[in-house]
Amino acid sequence: MSPRPDVSPDGAHLHRFSRAERWAHRSTAALMGVCVVTAAFLYVPVLAELVGRRTLVVTVHEWAGIALPVPVLAALGSRALRADLGLLNRFGPHDRRWLAAALRRDKRPSSRPAHKFNAGQKLYASWSAGATLVMLGTGLMMWQTHLVPLQWRVGATFVHDWLALTLGVVLAGHIGMAMADPEARHGMRTGWVARSWARREHPLWEAETRWETEKSSS
């Protein structure tokens, strides 16, 4: 079992993210932001004309890309992150219900049961981790031109370009959803979320703390 969430003394707040996790998220977001902005400078003609300095922009893009996995790898030393990765990896029957409701555009909390992470967040985490590594691998093939034969490089360029576009759209979705949910952002900023929010968004997770509170008070 995963460690049960810590509860604030007044019982109104739950601990959602450790300091290491928040810093890993912050650093990854910053590096990803640099990658996206420099990519736009290299790729969109209007912006390329505006910025120029191709050698510099390429260098920044390459090193930001190389560094992208570093924060999460460094934070693997944190038990909280490892526990959360375990939760993200595990799909239960409630995740199937959550996904079915999402596909039906059923937004009622009662039809979207979720533990600490809902099924959408689990898919996003796994997919974006994989996609980031694919971007890193294909990027390396384009950067170190003597590493692999030409045919691979053509394929790498193709994958890098199209996956960049896909990642951009998915990332915009991730940011858009965060913008629409101040309490979720508060959780990532401070580590704590309101119990009322958790009961609505992550009822199975919130229930574990109630069970614990009841047990300890009895």
Among 34, 88, 102, 204, binds another protein (CB under 8 A): 88
Name the residue among 5, 12, 34, 26 with its Cα closest to residue 189: 26
Examine residue 29 and tell whether it contacts another protein (CB under 8 A). no
All residues at 6 or more sequence positions from 210 whose CB lies less than 8 Å from its CB, including other chains: none
Minimum CB distance to another protein, residue 172 (Å): 16
Residue 103 binding another protein, by CB under 8 A? no
Q: Among 6, 62, 161, 183, indicate the residue that binds another protein (CB under 8 A).
A: 161
How far apart CA 4 and CA 201 sit, in angstroms, is: 17
In the chain, beta strands by DSSP E: 13-15, 192-194
Contacting residue, 54, 82, 185, 189, with another protein by CB under 8 A: 54
Place of tokens 């390396």: 140
**Of residues 29 and 58, the one with the C-beta less far from another protein:** 58
Q: Which is nearer to another protein, 157 or 186 (CB)?
A: 157
Whichever of 174 and 186 has its CB closer to another protein, that residue is 174
Q: Give the gyration radius of the chain's Cα atoms.
A: 20
Do residues 195 and 12 touch, judged by C-beta distance below 8 A? yes
Q: Is 134 in the site for another protein (CB under 8 A)?
A: yes
d(CA 124, CA 146): 34
Please list every residue from 61 through 80 that binds another protein, using CB under 8 A. Answer: none
Is 89 an interacting residue with respect to another protein (CB under 8 A)? yes
Among 69, 82, 74, residue whose Cα is nearest residue 128: 69
- Residues of the shown chain interacting with another protein in the complex, contacts defined by CB under 8 A: 43-45, 48-49, 51-55, 88-91, 122-123, 125-127, 129-131, 133-134, 137-138, 141, 145-146, 149-159, 161-163, 165
